[in-house]
């Protein structure tokens, strides 16, 4: 499997792992309440949903960092710290449009 962090040196890896992002990923990400969103989706209808751990994580990080929807979309697209915290593994998970963000927020 491709390691998206392979070019990062040991010092930066340690810094990343000891930061809030490492703590979020290791201790919170898997325990996020994705069951709260499941009733809003039907596997037979529409296109596949976003990874629900990432969705709830993004909504939580938006509130923690007091970001607007536009700033949240931009941060998710470009901030490596958020990618690590949310365990983003694909290009598709690096982008939400503002409408998607609002829709998920309403669902919560």
| Chunked mean pLDDT (size 10), the chain, 108 residues | 66 86 87 73 57 86 95 94 89 85 78
Q: Give the total number of structural domains in the chain.
A: 1
Q: Determine the structural domain holding residue 70 and report its residue range.
A: 33-40+49-108
CB-CB contact of 53 with 34 (8 Å):
yes
Flag whether 10 is in a domain. Answer: no
HSE toward the beta carbon, residue 97, CA cutoff 13 A: 2
Residue 102: predicted pLDDT: 85
- Distance (Å, whole) CA 73 – CA 82: 11
Residue 67: predicted pLDDT: 96
Residue 104: predicted pLDDT: 77
- Distance (Å, whole) CA 32 – CA 52: 9
Flag whether 20 is in a domain. Answer: no
Flag whether 18 is in a domain. Answer: no
CB-CB contact of 77 with 19 (8 Å):
no
Flag whether 23 is in a domain. Answer: no
Flag whether 102 is in a domain. Answer: yes
Residue 7: predicted pLDDT: 75
Flag whether 63 is in a domain. Answer: yes
Flag whether 58 is in a domain. Answer: yes
Q: Rounded to whole angstroms, what are the CA distances from 38 to 6, 18, 77, 84, 95?
A: 34, 32, 24, 24, 20
Flag whether 96 is in a domain. Answer: yes
């Amino acid at each position: 499997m491709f390691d998206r962090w392979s070019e990062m040196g040991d010092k930066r890896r340690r810094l990343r792992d000891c930061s809030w992002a490492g703590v979020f990923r290791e201790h919170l990400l898997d325990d996020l309440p994705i069951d709260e969103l499941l009733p809003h989706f039907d596997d037979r209808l529409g296109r596949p949903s976003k990874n629900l751990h990432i969705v709830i994580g993004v909504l939580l990080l938006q509130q923690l960092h007091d970001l607007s929807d536009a700033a949240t979309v931009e941060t998710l697209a470009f901030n490596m710290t958020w990618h690590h915290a949310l365990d983003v593994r694909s290009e598709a998970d690096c982008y939400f449009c503002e409408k998607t963000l609002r829709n998920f927020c309403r669902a919560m």
